[in-house]
Amino acid sequence: MRSVLFGLLTVALSATASTSRAESGSSATSLQQPSPAAALRQDMRKLWTDHVVWTRDYIIAAVGDQPDATAAANRLLKNQEDIGGAIAGIYGKPAGDQLTTLLKEHITIAVELIKAAKAGDSPAQQKADARWQENGVAIADFLSKANPNWPRAALVDMMKKHLSTTTNEVVARLKKDWEGDVKAYDEVYNHILMMADALSDGIVKQFPEKFGKTGL
């Protein structure tokens, strides 16, 4: 009798172990293959995180007269191509190219603004800032026309917030206000994640057949 019970227990334990391995394998597969909507959110966050990370790297290098400023600027410009490429995959190459152009203008104007601020050239700084604001609105206009789930007013607010938080980061660095610099970058980073998620949510709503009606 004891041998029979032992045999039944062994079978039960083997079955449990097999089930656990199967469930573990299923979980691993699920983790490795996120839903299209979740993958979109991850990719969008990565692209826009790169945007603010390399912007910060450039700010630090440019303000400090470091030799890596040019390399940081080039990597930052490459990020704009990456963002445009992601948009091209959804809205077509012409749309991606147009956004890349607008984003590269966003970066080149920022470079001019930082240079003027560092030199203490207020007229040049104000002129660059005005162009920066206009470019931000142009980016918002472009995006709002591509997706009805991206309201123009909301996008304009997002872009202006991005510009203002980045400006705060530059000013703090120029003043050598290191605590203020850290706080400013936290604001930049938190805001860009919100913006990336808003863009992802809008795409999911616009193309539920591709990303799933259940969203993220």
pLDDT tens sequence across 88-137: 999 999 999 999 999 999 999 999 999 999 999 999 999 999 999 999 99
When pLDDT is averaged across residues 10-24 and rounded to a whole number, the result is 45
How far is it, in rounded angstroms, from Cα 52 to Cα 3? 67
Residue 166 contacts residue 110 (beta carbons within 8 Å): yes
- Structure confidence by residue, pLDDT tens digits, 153-191: 999 999 999 999 999 999 999 999 999 999 999 999 999
Tokens 């931000």, residue?
Answer: 136
pLDDT of residue 12: 40
Q: What is the mean pLDDT of the chain?
A: 87
Q: What is the pLDDT of residues 71-83, one digit of tens each?
A: 999 999 999 999 9
Q: What angle do CA 99, 80, 111 make, to 5 degrees?
A: 105
Residue 9 pLDDT: 32
Place of tokens 């530059």: 170
pLDDT higher than 50, residue 17: no
Report, in this order, helix, strand and coil percent for the chain, each rounded to 5. 90, 0, 10
State residue 33's pLDDT score: 79
Q: Which residues in 101-121 are b (16+ Cβ under 10 Å) and which e?
A: ebbbbbbbbbbbbbebbbeee
Confidence (pLDDT) at 81: 97
Percent of the chain with pLDDT over 90: 81
Question: Where residue 212 falls among pLDDT bands split at 50, 70, 90?
Answer: confident
The reported pLDDT for the residue numbered 34 is 82
The predicted-structure confidence for 29-65, as pLDDT tens digits, reads as follows 445 778 999 999 999 999 999 999 999 999 999 999 9
Reading the block at residue 65, the tokens are: 């007269």
